[in-house]
Structure formats: structure tokens, C-alpha cells
């Protein structure tokens, strides 16, 4: 499938840079941002220049390559890997893909150092870059497989509702929640996507609407508070969203507002799907209650585009994510299969740790 959006790209060899689409500027401006060091990437992750669980993970893997650029010995490389991983792990708390990717880079480094203690730092750095590229390519493949596995859920002539952005901009590939839509579109199906604007940072309006429009998919932007009336009117056949972390029992954290959509879907009998790769599962935690939820700055709610939209000093509650209980999830679409009515047993059986 042709996907022109390149959310993140490593440029050069081991002394290269990470180029990101600066998602803070979309849709008004389409600009890239170069990260030359972990500090720049940390800021890019925290301020959502790069965002979406899988994309954060892939970016962090390359961030480790940025962190080892000036190391001169095998020992130095190892030290820099650990320092960079600790540092980047503090950038955002909820998406488990970040920690998954960093753990994988740490493991690759530990294995390399054990097997090649005398080797040159340059070879070590190459091994790390190869690992980061492998994580990127795997993510692309997982997105394609999610698309294939979820495509048949979209009826020809039907309508899907999605929340936030779980598309190409949120991954290294064609996305998770949007992947079945891209696959259905490619197969010639006609359908409509209702795009929740996704307050407060408008990932739906700014990013999903942009992506779907570019792909020629019929997208209709709605305010978050319109989903109920759409479902009441029978205008939504299914909901597909992404996830930032799925607990062992199937509870899934995703962008704030997803829980409300899932409750509405249950009320109106609309199937509610989560699309996520295996890197989004966290089998170390039993339920969604243990998922750390990021609290973000009050300004995101009380200001817009630098203009105050609420009285100065107003108290603000701004969690970035909420948790949808497994019982509200019709199925989880993964790269391996569609897990119907997810629960602990099925997740243990179908998801490789
Ligand atoms: O705060 P964001 O924009 O990083 O939140 C993103 C989401 O909630 C996505 O739905 C999720 O990460 C899945 S992306 C494939």
C-alpha cells in the first residue's frame, strides 16, 4: 500500500539524525524537525511533535542511536545506551511502546556487549542502528497486518467513528485504527469516517482529518460531544480507535474521551474495536487501574492558539488518557488476529510477551 506520509526517518549512518514530521504544526504547516540529540527528541515527544504510541516507541529507539553518537569505546556506548534509555523513558508515561522499544534497545546492547566485548564502538553503534531500523520495519509490517485483519469489519457503504489519531502519523507505517480504513479504501469500498475532533489538542481535527483527506477517504469532522447524537441516529456502524497500553485483562488506555465513546457505543449497540500491535500490550500489569495516566499542562485546556478561552487562574483537570474496560471492547484487532471479547485468558494465549 502506498503511504506517502513518512512520520519519522533516520537520515545518514550511525552519526545521522532523526527527521520527524512536526505534528504540532499540522495541518497549517507541513514541516520537518531534525533531532540531533536525545534532548531534542525528548522535547519533541513531550510537546507532541512526534506522538502516538508506536511512533513514540520507534522514535525512542532511534533516540538511543542519537545518544551513543559521541561514545568512543564499547564501554562508553553501553553507558550511553543506559543513560539515554533512562532519560527518554521519562518523556511520557502512558504509551507502553516507549518502554517496550527502549527495553529492546537495552537488550540488544547488552547482548552485543556480551558477545563482542573486544569489538569497536563503531560496530556496536551499527548494531544499535540496525535494531532501531528493525523496530521501524516491524512496526510498518504490524500496521499492514492490522489493516488486513480489520478490513472486513468495515461494511461497504458503512460509517466508522474514530477518536484521536491512530493513523500513519502515530506509527512508522499506515497506522493502527486507520489501517483497516486504508485497506478497505484500497479494496474499493465506499464508507465514511466520522472523526472526533479530540479536545484539547485536536489530534482528530488536525491530524486524522488531514490524513484521511489526503488519502481520498470520505471524512466528516465532528466535535467530541456529537458522537452520542450520531449513534442515536444510527449513523455509526462501528468505532475503531487505537490504544496506548493494553493491560493483561484487556482494559485499554487511549486518548481522553475514548472511554465515553465506548460507553456510548455499548449503549447504542455499536461494535467498539481497538486496533493495536503486540508492542502495545503490557502483560506485566493486571488491569487498567495500574496504567499510569499522563496529566498535562492546564494551558492546553484553558488556552487555544495562544488565546485564553477561560478565565485566568481557573483550575483545570487535564488527563491525556482514559481507560476503557475490556467489557466495553467488542474486539482488539492485532497484527496476528482479531481477539473477540478480550479477556485475560485470550490475551495470554494470543499475545506473545
Ligand atoms: O497524546 P497522543 O497524541 O500521543 O495520543 C495518541 C493516542 O491516544 C492514540 O490513539 C494511541 O497512541 C494509538 S496510536 C496508533
Kindly give the number of the ligand 1 atom that is closest to the alpha carbon of 241.
10
Centroid of ligand 1 to alpha carbon of 280 (angstroms)? 11
The pLDDT of 100-108, averaged and rounded, is 98
Minimal-distance CA residue to ligand 1 atom 8: 255
Centroid of ligand 1 to alpha carbon of 77 (angstroms)? 31
Cell 506522538 belongs to residue: 51
**Cβ atoms < 10 Å from Cβ of 29:** 8
Kindly give the number of the ligand 1 atom that is closest to the alpha carbon of 203.
3
Residues with Cβ < 8 Å from 225, sequence gap 6 or more?
none
Q: How confident is the model at residue 192 (pLDDT cuts 50, 70, 90)?
A: very high
Regarding the beta carbon of 254 and ligand 1, being less than 6 Å apart is answered yes
What's CA 162's distance to the chain center, in Å?
A: 14
Residue 2 in this model has a pLDDT that exceeds 80: no
Regarding the beta carbon of 143 and ligand 1, being less than 6 Å apart is answered no
Regarding the beta carbon of 93 and ligand 1, being less than 6 Å apart is answered no
Contact 68, 81 (CB under 8 A): yes
User: What is the DSSP code string of 87-149?
Assistant: HHHTS-SS-HHHHHHHHHHHHHHHHHHHH-TTS-HHHHHHHHHHHHHHHHHHHHHHHHHHHHH
pLDDT value at position 310?
Answer: 97
The SS3 call for residue 288 is helix
Minimal-distance CA residue to ligand 1 atom 6: 52
Q: Which residues are catalytically annotated?
A: 244
Centroid of ligand 1 to alpha carbon of 51 (angstroms)? 6
Regarding the beta carbon of 171 and ligand 1, being less than 6 Å apart is answered yes
pLDDT value at position 148?
Answer: 98
Centroid of ligand 1 to alpha carbon of 190 (angstroms)? 26
What's CA 218's distance to the chain center, in Å?
A: 23
Centroid of ligand 1 to alpha carbon of 234 (angstroms)? 27
**Does residue 200 have a cis peptide bond before it, meaning omega lies within 30 degrees of 0?**
yes
Instruction: Please state, in angstroms and rounded to a whole number, the distance separating the CA atoms of residues 173 and 291.
Output: 25
pLDDT value at position 116?
Answer: 81
Contact 11, 19 (CB under 8 A): yes
pLDDT in tens, 339-352: 999 999 999 998 86
Contact 246, 273 (CB under 8 A): no
The SS3 call for residue 8 is strand
The rounded percent of the chain whose pLDDT value lies above 90 is 95
Q: How confident is the model at residue 332 (pLDDT cuts 50, 70, 90)?
A: very high
Regarding the beta carbon of 179 and ligand 1, being less than 6 Å apart is answered no
Regarding the beta carbon of 322 and ligand 1, being less than 6 Å apart is answered no
Question: For a substitution probing ligand 1, which of 45, 243, 321 has the most ligand atoms within 8 Å of its CB?
Answer: 243
Q: How confident is the model at residue 261 (pLDDT cuts 50, 70, 90)?
A: very high
Q: Is 157 left (phi over 0), alpha (psi -120 to 50) or beta?
A: left
pLDDT value at position 1?
Answer: 65
Kindly give the number of the ligand 1 atom that is closest to the alpha carbon of 56.
4
Kindly give the number of the ligand 1 atom that is closest to the alpha carbon of 255.
8
Regarding the beta carbon of 320 and ligand 1, being less than 6 Å apart is answered yes
Centroid of ligand 1 to alpha carbon of 27 (angstroms)? 17
Centroid of ligand 1 to alpha carbon of 253 (angstroms)? 9
pLDDT value at position 118?
Answer: 74
**Does residue 50 have a cis peptide bond before it, meaning omega lies within 30 degrees of 0?**
no
Contact 179, 153 (CB under 8 A): no
pLDDT value at position 50?
Answer: 98
Q: How confident is the model at residue 70 (pLDDT cuts 50, 70, 90)?
A: very high
Q: How confident is the model at residue 353 (pLDDT cuts 50, 70, 90)?
A: low
Regarding the beta carbon of 203 and ligand 1, being less than 6 Å apart is answered yes
Can you state the angle between helices 74-89 and 53-67, rounded to 10 degrees? 150
The rounded percent of the chain whose pLDDT value lies above 70 is 99
Instruction: Please state, in angstroms and rounded to a whole number, the distance separating the CA atoms of residues 321 and 258.
Output: 8
Higher pLDDT, 44 or 352: 44
Question: For a substitution probing ligand 1, which of 255, 273, 281 has the most ligand atoms within 8 Å of its CB?
Answer: 255
Residues with Cβ < 8 Å from 311, sequence gap 6 or more?
none
Amino acid at each position: 500500500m502506498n503511504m506517502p506520509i513518512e512520520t519519522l526517518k533516520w537520515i545518514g549512518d550511525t552519526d545521522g539524525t532523526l527527521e520527524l514530521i512536526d505534528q504540532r504544526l499540522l495541518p497549517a504547516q507541513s514541516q520537518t524537525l531534525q533531532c540531533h540529540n536525545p534532548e531534542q527528541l525528548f522535547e519533541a515527544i513531550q510537546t507532541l511533535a512526534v506522538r502516538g504510541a508506536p511512533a513514540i516507541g520507534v522514535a525512542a529507539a532511534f533516540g538511543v542511536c542519537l545518544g551513543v553518537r559521541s561514545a568512543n569505546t564499547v564501554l562508553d556506548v553501553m553507558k550511553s545506551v543506559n543513560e539515554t534509555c533512562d532519560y527518554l523513558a521519562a518523556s511520557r508515561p502512558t504509551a507502553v511502546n516507549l518502554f517496550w522499544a527502549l527495553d529492546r534497545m537495552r537488550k540488544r546492547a547488552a547482548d552485543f556487549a556480551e558477545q563482542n566485548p573486544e569489538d569497536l564502538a563503531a560496530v556496536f553503534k551499527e548494531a544499535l542502528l540496525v535494531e532501531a531500523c528493525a523496530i521501524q520495519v516491524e512496526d510498518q509490517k504490524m500496521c499492514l497486518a492490522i489493516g488486513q485483519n480489520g478490513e472486513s469489519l468495515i461494511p461497504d457503504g458503512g460509517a466508522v467513528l474514530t477518536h484521536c489519531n491512530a493513523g500513519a502519523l502515530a506509527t512508522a507505517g499506515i497506522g493502527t485504527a486507520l489501517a483497516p480504513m486504508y485497506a478497505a479504501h484500497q479494496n474499493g469500498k465506499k464508507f465514511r469516517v466520522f472523526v472526533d475532533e479530540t479536545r484539547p489538542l485536536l489530534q482528530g481535527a488536525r491530524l486524522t482529518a488531514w490524513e484521511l483527506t489526503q488519502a481520498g477517504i470520505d471524512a466528516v469532522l465532528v466535535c467530541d460531544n456529537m458522537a452520542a447524537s450520531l449513534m442515536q441516529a444510527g449513523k455509526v456502524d462501528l468505532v475503531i480507535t487505537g490504544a496506548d497500553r493494553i493491560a493483561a485483562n484487556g482494559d485499554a488506555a487511549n486518548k481522553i474521551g475514548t472511554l465515553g465513546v465506548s460507553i456510548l457505543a455499548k449503549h447504542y449497540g455499536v461494535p467498539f474495536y481497538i486496533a493495536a500491535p503486540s508492542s502495545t500490550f503490557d502483560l506485566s500489569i493486571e488491569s487498567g487501574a495500574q496504567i499510569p495516566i499522563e496529566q498535562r499542562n492546564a494551558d492546553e485546556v484553558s488556552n487555544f492558539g495562544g488565546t485564553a478561552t477561560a478565565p485566568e487562574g481557573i483550575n483545570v483537570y487535564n488527563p491525556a488518557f482514559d481507560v476503557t474496560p475490556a467489557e466495553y471492547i467488542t474486539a482488539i484487532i492485532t497484527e496476528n488476529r482479531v481477539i473477540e471479547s478480550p479477556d485475560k485468558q485470550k490475551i495470554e494465549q494470543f499475545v506473545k510477551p
